Structure 1
């Protein structure tokens, strides 16, 4: 039962962060910049903080669960991504839809790689 409460607590903050990104990022016409930003930031946070830093620090599994499933899960959203693609297609914005698909998928993978690279670069820096 405690796991559910931890996930819900962190999901509250992830959902708020997602809302704020969508509300305060400048509009680019029909292009869903808020969803794109939330998904890319979430990929980076999940890769760098949750899967790298916290695993190595051997912190509580509940903190990892809360930040990973709760915060990152609420911050990122596949359903909004899919809906945004369909809205672009329905509006006849085929080129924007294709750009959005490519940037979302490739960008997500790049954010994961960048998160891992940043962590591993720090981890292998020689001591002074």
Structure 2
């Protein structure tokens, strides 16, 4: 069954203290609903602080603070859902977009298992 990465975005100036208890409970309720339906495989929030590693042509790896891309928003959290179709994933994500009152992105996860050793 296909899996989907659901990313929610927050503005870089997002203030976590602005999130209401009602919104937090709505997020928990949606997570419980997804778990009960057997579609949620993983969920979490993410810190806006990032560290980026960039491989250089000479083989060196440079470590820098901040995101790889300069943007006005960042990934604030994610879900991994497993559904029978993109349409089913989108039905769940519509609920998430309503609860989060923001931008949510859906990407199918492509998995290529490593060949067996030997």
Q: TM-score, normalised by structure 2?
A: 0.25
Q: Of Structure 1 and Structure 2, which has the larger fraction of its residues in helix?
A: 1
Q: Of Structure 1 and Structure 2, which has the larger fraction of its residues in strand?
A: 2
Question: Which gives a bigger RCO, structure 1 or 2 (Cα 8 Å, sep 6+)?
Answer: 2
Q: TM-score, normalised by structure 1?
A: 0.24
